[in-house]
């Protein structure tokens, strides 16, 4: 398994060609698909069945956690060191609301950043696609379809000829 290639990278010259190829690859039974494009291509995520982002739930839970933490922290501070401020109640929700609001926003934002980095595995120094010769064009004017090596139907030679049949301008092997 260790020397299995990361996948095959096929180059196309238009978003329409990429969409057609992605559709045919799905029909041919490939499931581990990915794509690299210079700009977002409408409908591509649906054809590739990319999972819907669930980051908003992380943000919601982070927000609730921050609000709860701020409330408990302030309640504890006032319990451990009670101060009479102009006769106001000890556990004054009106005053707590400001800190609760701030920490809700802070925790929500931080949890989403951490979850985003964890999900896309980001601080990453290298990626197999960088080893191919033409990948830099993905940020210019070319559209790349990737069939990953972990796909059950993946076979180095059969898949490469399949991609050539789809009309790929070039097909390159991504090293492990």
Partner 1 sequence: MTVRIRRHWGLIALAAILLLAGAIVDGRSALAAYLVTWVALSAIPIGALGVLMVSYVVRRDWTEALHPVLAAAAATISVAGILFIPILILIAHIYPAASDPASLPAFKAIYLTPWFFAARAVAYFIIWTVLGWWLRAAWPDRERMMRAASAGLIVYALTVSLAGVDWLESLEPDFHSSIYGLLYLCFAMLDGVAFAIAAGLFLRRPLSGINGYSALLLSTILLWGYLHGMQYIVIWSGNIPAEVVWYIKRSANGWQFVLAVLAFGQFVFPFFALLNSRVRRDRRWLLGLCALTLIMRGIEAAVLILPAIPGVAMLPTVLMLAPALVLVGCLMLAAFEIARARDGRLFSFAIVGRRGTVPRSTR
Q: Given candidates 28, 50, 60, 90, which one binds partner 1 under the rule CB under 8 A?
A: 60
- Report the residue number, 51 or 86, with the smaller CB distance to partner 1: 86
Binding residue (CB under 8 A) for partner 1 from 14, 56, 119, 164: 56
Given the complex with partner 1, which of 101 and 127 has the nearer CB atom? 101
Chain centroid to Cα 78, Å, comes to 42
Beta carbon nearer to partner 1, 56 or 161: 56
Secondary structure letter of residue 174 according to DSSP: E
Question: Which structure tokens are listed for 37?
Answer: 């494009």
Contact 58, 107 (CB under 8 A): no
Cα separations in angstroms, 143 against 104, 150, 170: 40, 22, 11
If one asks whether residue 71 binds partner 1 (CB under 8 A), the answer comes out as no
Buried (b) or exposed (e) across 51-85, using 16+ Cβ within 10 A? Answer: eeeeeeebbeebbeebbebbbeebeeebeeeeeee
Question: Least Å distance between CB 94 and partner 1?
Answer: 5
| 60 vs 90, beta carbon nearer partner 1 | 60
By CB under 8 A, the count of residues binding partner 1 is 8
- The site for partner 1 (CB under 8 A) is made up of 56, 60, 86, 88, 94-95, 97-98
């Amino acid at each position: 398994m260790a020397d299995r290639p990361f996948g095959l990278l096929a180059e196309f010259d238009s978003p329409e060609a990429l969409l057609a190829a992605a559709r045919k690859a799905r029909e041919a039974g490939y499931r581990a698909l990915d794509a690299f494009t210079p700009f977002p291509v409408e409908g591509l995520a649906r054809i590739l069945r990319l999972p819907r982002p669930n980051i908003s739930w992380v943000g919601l839970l982070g927000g609730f956690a921050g609000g709860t933490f701020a409330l408990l922290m302030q309640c504890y501070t006032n319990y451990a060191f009670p101060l009479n401020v102009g006769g106001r109640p000890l556990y004054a929700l009106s005053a707590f609301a400001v800190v609760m609001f701030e920490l809700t926003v802070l925790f929500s934002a931080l949890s989403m950043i951490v979850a985003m980095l964890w999900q896309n595995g980001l601080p990453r120094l290298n990626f197999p696609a960088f080893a191919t010769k033409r990948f830099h064009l993905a940020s210019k004017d070319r559209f790349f379809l990737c069939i990953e090596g972990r796909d059950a139907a993946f076979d180095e030679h059969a898949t490469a000829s399949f991609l050539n049949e789809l009309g790929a301008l070039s097909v390159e092997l991504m090293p492990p």
